[in-house]
A and B are shown apart, each in its own frame.
Chain A
Amino acid sequence: MNTPIRRLSVLIAALFAALLVASTMVQFVQAKSLDAMAANKRTLLDNYSRERGAIVVADQNIAESVKVSDQYEWLRTYPQGKLYSQITGFYSYAVGNPYGLEHVSDDLLSGGSDSLFVRRVTDLLTGRQTAGATLDLTIDPKAQAAADQALGNSRGAVVALDPQTGAVLAMVSHPQYDPNPISSHDLKKAATAWDALRADPNKAFLNRGISELYPPGSTFKVVTAAAALENGIVTDENSVVPGPATLDLPLTDTNLPNETGLPCGPNNQTTLIHAMEISCNTAFGSLGLDLGGEKLRAQAAKFGFGDSLQIPLRVTPSSVPAELNAPQAAQSAIGQYDVLTTPLQMAMVAAGIANGGRVMTPYLIQSVRTAGLDVIETGKPSELSQAVSARTAQIITTMMVAVVDKGSGARAQISGVAVAGKTGTAQHDPDKPPHAWFISFAPADNPKVAVAVVVEDGGVTGSEIGGGRVAAPIARAVMEAVLR
């Protein structure tokens, strides 16, 4: 009987080998993915029992963990309430952390990041719990507050950038929500707050500055002008361009009219700078025809259209459609047809012009600090692309200053400061008012801030008034807050 006994002992060894392999799979190979499962309450409790890093704006915590005496040990609170809701997101035992920095920077905040490895090892040896890292943001609290206040009860978004670095100075999206009740340890209260947020028709959880795509309307004329200058279709701001009351589009019965129904100048002609001041559709439409879709698209791409940015919040890529025919190119040149953009992207356009044509990569995190105050990461300015030449940037700046000084953007004027801007009114739904846009930067000669504002349904159909009247004052408030 000894032979079968030996064989059976091999079988026993094989059974146990299977158990060893399975345990290794669960505890080593798949451990990280198992830990990361949303339904895994252990991970959440684990993170709760650790001091989560704070999110800080100018030495003030906008998200912090407070020691409490219940089983979760640390309560996540947001001292500023709604103001930073879309930037921070929330951190809830009931729901998780699906949005904002709480989501994308979870590794750092929870202390699980690989960049905290050395710290974790020393903590292991000293028996301490590794606390999460603190995130210092680039946000200027004055600009954030000004943007929030100026946007008021309107739906829309404001994004302000430092044109020279790409640092995000303000990022406001309305409507907002209060992340505190969802993060409550009263799970019933948290669930109620979450259900309300989820069902909100206005999608308050959405960070409109980076996650919502809008037609840019006339603000896109800045990109068209850049493409025309870079491709030699016009030479400078005084170049003469066509400006009829209606632009006849080839291949189609629909024509491209001016909102006013009038030609933009005598003899159906005007200069580029005047076309910009009064936001002449036919002039830019004809530049679009001359350029063609691909050149327009290429110029937009140099400003960042089509890029998937992570600042580290994920930015929805803006887009100019490929393979445009002539009438579509003309429509796209004035920011209609299927051109779609985030407010951040238009802020990058303004910032690129402001910075001599160099578009800087936007970033939201200034520095990452461990609990021991060692800085482990710093936000460093980096160039995304040279979108236009310095000369082109200078010419467009001149034109945008004219828009604010004597054109459609007069409400963005700041006394004693040269402001460059461009209005926009973007049709998106025949039954609703258009979106009102404004992009700008200041001071024009040494730019410190570039802003993009969109107010949903804030415009007046058939008029550039919307962008100038509704959006420009908001941009001005933000610029003033940064400059003063």
Chain B
Amino acid sequence: MSIRKFDTKVQHLKYKVLREVAKQAWNDTLYDNLLEIPKIIVPGNKPTMRCCVYKERAILEERIKIAMGGDKNFSNPIEVIDIACDECPVGGYEVTNACRGCLAHRCEDVCKFGAISFDHNYVAHIDKDKCKECGACAKVCPYSAIVIRRRPCENACKVKAISMDENKAAKINDEKCISCGACVYQCPFGAIMDKSYILNVIDLIKNQEHGDYKLYCVVAPSISSQFIYAKLGQVISGIKQLGFHTVVEAALGADMVSASESRELAEKGFLTSSCCPAFVDFIEKNFPQMKQYISHNLSPMATIAKYIKKTTPNAKIVFIGPCTAKKAEIQKESVKPYVDAVLTFEELQALFDSRDIDITTLDEDVLDNASYFGRIFARSGGLTDAIAQALKEQGLDKDFIFKPCSCDGIEACKLALLKKSKGVLDANFIEGMACIGGCIGGAGCLTHGEKNKAEVDKYGKEAMEKTISEAIKIL
């Protein structure tokens, strides 16, 4: 990696697969060279990642399948590559050698399940059959001698959708999975991937020439924190060079959502946001009784896409963003007619490089439709700020007292929903973002950095339109 475009080598490997698949697809040689791609990526006979090149190539074949759309029998865009799963040890709570065999035995006293016993050196042991993994012992040990050993994927999955199959490989429970992609980003072996629709997008671009449609790209505002090695205007030029007719900000859809969601909120008195598809999925799967409170607005992506298709009936739309759950969202009946495909920023990078487009050499194009408020939807708390602003702009803040609860990450969302369901939530609006930090923490981001929030705010301030009503006036 000459320029550091990704956070991890796992992302880089996935990128190489996507880039190669795309390259072959542009040349119409994908099906002729399909079996050669693993060798192109792992040449020679010396392994660089696994026990032998044959295993490396076998796993690459699986990655190629997922890069080509993955298993069509399952709608979940998140898929496990079982042969890539390292079957990490799952110890649960374990006593380390920091245990000094003390007298106090707080661990034993606090354990409600009688799982702690002591050997002849008075060192604690945990009976796995009795342990319920409550963690109480780890909390009280004065030496911090008890630790939890969990698989990175299970640890990343805060909705507890990951377990082990009979071969100890990771298994996703689609009934619980919200497709947020946290496991994809966290698995150190790259054994979980998001299905790619990069081939659909290449087809859409190619067929545009003799098709009767124009291909629009709707881009998420979190793009301001991505492709940091180039200017945003150069990224826009790059997208157009790939063959898109034009690029429109999803943030303008966010402005439209803020305006109508604030009215819905003032009318109904309580609402949860509906922008984050993983959050909406989480409510539907875990708090069905709360479904009635979900805002009826489509997400900003779907809202702007709907508008584009209304005004330009021969438009086809590809959304590019940080999100793997968007790949599930566009399968919904309510969204399907508006968005034709979803790509992540990782996949956009692969597309650029499959065409040898070096965006740093391009002129800067413009991207300016939305307001500051639409743009800050990309980070946690931004949606709440936008709703407060929209209430104010529409004069709704006089009779309605806005009490927001911004939830940063799915665990915070769960807590707020739990409180609401028990009638003890002191708020009338829940902003739910499944990823920590909001969309800038999405699994499809190239990089995740400390400065991302500041980048989003900076981009927000650069918007020509300063208010939501000014931004949507034109529509």
Partners in one complex: no
- Point out residues on B near A: beta carbons under 8 Å: none
- Point out residues on A near B: beta carbons under 8 Å: none
